[in-house]
Amino acid sequence: MPNNQREPHRWGFRDTRFILNQDSSVTLTGNRYSICGYAMPYFIPFVESLLQVRLPTGQPAGERQEVELPEPNRNEAFCAALALKFPAEQISFADAERLPHSHGQTTVDEIYQVLYGELPKPVDAVFYCADTEQAQTLVQLAAEHDVCLLPYGGGTSVSNALRVPADERRMVVAVDTGRMNRIIGLERDNMRVIVQAGICGADLEHQLREQGYTLGHEPDSIEFSTVGGWIATNASGMKKNRYGNIEDVVESMTVVTPSGTLQESMRAPRVSAGSRLHPVLFGSEGNFGLITEAVLKLRPLPEVTEYQSILFRDFAAGIAFLQALSKGTVWPASIRLVDNPQFRFAQSLKPALTGWADYKHRLQRWLLTSVKKFDLETLAAATIVIEGSADEVIAQRRALDRLVKRYGAIYGGAENGRRGYQLTYAIAYIRDFLMRYAVIGETYETSASWDCIETICDEVKQAAELEHARYGFPGKPYVSARITQIYPTGACIYFTHGASILGVDNADQKFHAVEQAMRAVILAHGGSISHHHGIGKLRAAFIAQLYSEATQKALIALKRELDPGNVFGASNNLFDRG
């Protein structure tokens, strides 16, 4: 049943959250991350200076303690048929389980609504599926009785993909894959593992590492997201440079559809056997069926893993560095470039320094600004993971050394690199903390060719300021950018956008409008609609700009063939009915 270590609605674990101390410092509770357990005195002043508002820390918004859901819409014939096939404990109509399965982690349209508003439409029941055979039975019964099924993995979607379509009139059942969490087989000689698709990324990686292997697929959400979710959203990980994106990791998959089970009998490194259907299922977002198993490619654990960081005079210099790096053949496993606002944001999460630590920090700052002539208001930084065999690590270091010298950058040290990489997992908790003090934040990711990146970054920030003023938000918006994955032809840009909503009527609707305007700007200047979050319902309005009419017809025909009764009525991307 539900994972009691996790928050039911907010991001993360129950024992981990940001709290405000009496002296206005903040602390991240628990001990899961390197920034847990100490006071951060600079965080609130930094946020207030960025947004140019005073946070209402004396009067935090009260979260709803109880949410009353409408009575579930029960298809009694389906429920009776289900009871004959499965134990009663595998299906739940309890509100405490229905509500968490009715949303993902999109800020405005989901989490804000659950905590401070009202989620428009919940699922009617939750079914906990254990394997492919159970999935086949469930899908058959749903098709017979005209019931809508919505696949649910780790609940980390940030595209409204898990929201129940507003016009759905059938009984809606969320199919929780959390029980499909086993490693089915490990082929050591073939460097291949067969897994159930509901296994959580962190759990899978832990088990593989005990055997001396890794997938190397590390999305920001690895603690909660599942293999099936990775496939359904066409995910990417922080170590993409070494291990590839999810489509490079998955060799084949099993998908249960109302028309039958999609499964390839061939198991080989590569096959040329006509058109293959499984590439179409990457990014399918629950529209065609339920992903139940996957065959994944393994890599041996790296002999060496090192961290490093690099400081650049400005973001443009960092982008030029990454572009030059992309033209070579030796890349670090991960390199992530943050702009100046995001760099300073990370600095605000450090503890107060005293004694020798304070003296050392002041000396380093003097050397950086007075000797090296770096401007703290413009500099950008990259966090780096170098891993592989000893020889590979040496080659990666040499490639970086050459470019660091060429672009006038300087190394920032291994500890800063380690901290910056691991901060990714902890920083997600900030959103829910700031929401209590009338600040809403969202992220937008895109991929773009190298010649578009700076323009997109500039235009998005300008659009945010214009829309912010247009809708009457107080103060200034916060918009920062980071480059998270690189390719020979371009890169992924990941934007973080925040704004104070203090005193703004219908703030969630207005923030959503600003968000859509910013996405339109990204598309207008050469960016993609998404790099790894998917489309869901949040970005579905832009579909007409992405697919030709013939492409849309082909996908619709595939949907009609695999799921003629629209059992999988998630209504995501092309199939959004809104």
414-471 residue pLDDT tens: 999 999 998 989 888 999 999 999 999 999 999 999 999 999 999 999 999 999 999 9
Q: DSSP labels for 42-101?
A: THHHHHHHHHTS---TTSPPPPPS--PPPPP---HHHHHHHHHHS-GGGEE--HHHHTGG
State the residue for tokens 């014939």: 77
Among residues 576, 541, 536, which one has the least CA distance to residue 159?
536
SS3 135: helix
> Helices 414-427 and 340-347 sit at what angle, rounded to 10 degrees?
90
Long-range contacts: 274-279, Cβ < 8 Å, 24+? 278/250, 278/252, 278/253, 279/247
Phi-psi region of 491 (alpha: psi -120 to 50; beta: other; left: phi over 0): beta
- What pLDDT is stored for residue 275 in this prediction? 86
Question: In a 10 Å sphere around its CB, with 0-12 CB exposed, 13-18 middle and 19+ buried, how is residue 48 labelled?
Answer: middle
- CA-CA distance, 235 to 283, in Å (whole number)? 8
The one-character DSSP state at 545 is G
Q: How many CB atoms lie within 10 A of CB 39?
A: 14
Q: What contacts 80, CB < 8 A, 6 or more positions away?
A: none
Q: What is the band of 68 on the pLDDT scale with cuts at 50, 70, 90? A: confident
Written as six digits, the tokens of 423 are 């901060």
The secondary structure of 472-487, three-state, reads CCCCCCEEEEEEEEEE
Torsion sign, CA atoms 167, 114, 289, 232: positive
For strands 490-500 and 213-214, give the pairing: unpaired
Among residues 518, 523, 317, 338, which one has the least CA distance to residue 407?
317
Q: What is the band of 204 on the pLDDT scale with cuts at 50, 70, 90? A: very high
Q: What is the mean pLDDT of the chain?
A: 95
Q: How many residues does the chain have?
A: 578
- What pLDDT is stored for residue 2 in this prediction? 54
Which of the residues are catalytic?
494
DSSP bridge pairs for 307: 385
- What pLDDT is stored for residue 488 in this prediction? 97
Q: DSSP labels for 388-405?
A: ESHHHHHHHHHHHHHHHH
| Domains of the chain, earliest start first | 304-427 (3.30.70.3450)
H helices within 407-506, ranges in order?
414-427, 429-435, 453-470
The 10s digit of each residue's pLDDT in 154-164 is 999 999 999 99
Average pLDDT score over residue span 337-345: 96
SS3 359: helix
What's the whole-model pTM score? 0.96
Question: Where is 240: in which H helix or E strand?
Answer: helix 240-243
The secondary structure of 158-214, three-state, reads CCCCCCCCCCCCCCEEEEECCCCCCEEEEECCCCEEEEECCCEHHHHHHHHHHCCEE
Q: What is the band of 63 on the pLDDT scale with cuts at 50, 70, 90? A: confident
Average pLDDT score over residue span 156-177: 97
- What pLDDT is stored for residue 244 in this prediction? 96
The one-character DSSP state at 220 is T
Sheet strands (E) in 221-354: 250-257, 260-262, 290-297, 299-300, 304-312, 334-338
- The alpha carbon of 293 is separated from its chain's Cα centroid by a whole number of angstroms, namely 21
Reply yes or no on whether the pLDDT at 367 is more than 70.
Answer: yes
- CA-CA distance, 152 to 164, in Å (whole number)? 12
Reply yes or no on whether the pLDDT at 578 is more than 80.
Answer: no
- CA-CA distance, 289 to 129, in Å (whole number)? 14
Q: What is the band of 358 on the pLDDT scale with cuts at 50, 70, 90? A: confident
Average pLDDT score over residue span 201-224: 97
Average pLDDT score over residue span 376-384: 96
Average pLDDT score over residue span 112-129: 92
Written as six digits, the tokens of 564 are 């003629």
Q: How many CB atoms lie within 10 A of CB 13?
A: 18
Average pLDDT score over residue span 519-534: 96
Q: How far is CA 514 from CA 26, 272, 472, 525, in A?
A: 29, 46, 11, 17
8 Å CB contact between 210 and 262? no
Q: What are the backbone angles phi and psi of residue 523, rounded to the nearest 5°?
A: -65, -40
8 Å CB contact between 465 and 477? yes
Reply yes or no on whether the pLDDT at 1 is more than 60.
Answer: no
- What pLDDT is stored for residue 427 in this prediction? 86
The 10s digit of each residue's pLDDT in 220-279 is 999 999 999 999 999 999 999 999 999 999 999 999 999 999 998 778 888 888 888 889
- CA-CA distance, 343 to 420, in Å (whole number)? 9
DSSP bridge pairs for 383: 309, 336
- The alpha carbon of 247 is separated from its chain's Cα centroid by a whole number of angstroms, namely 16
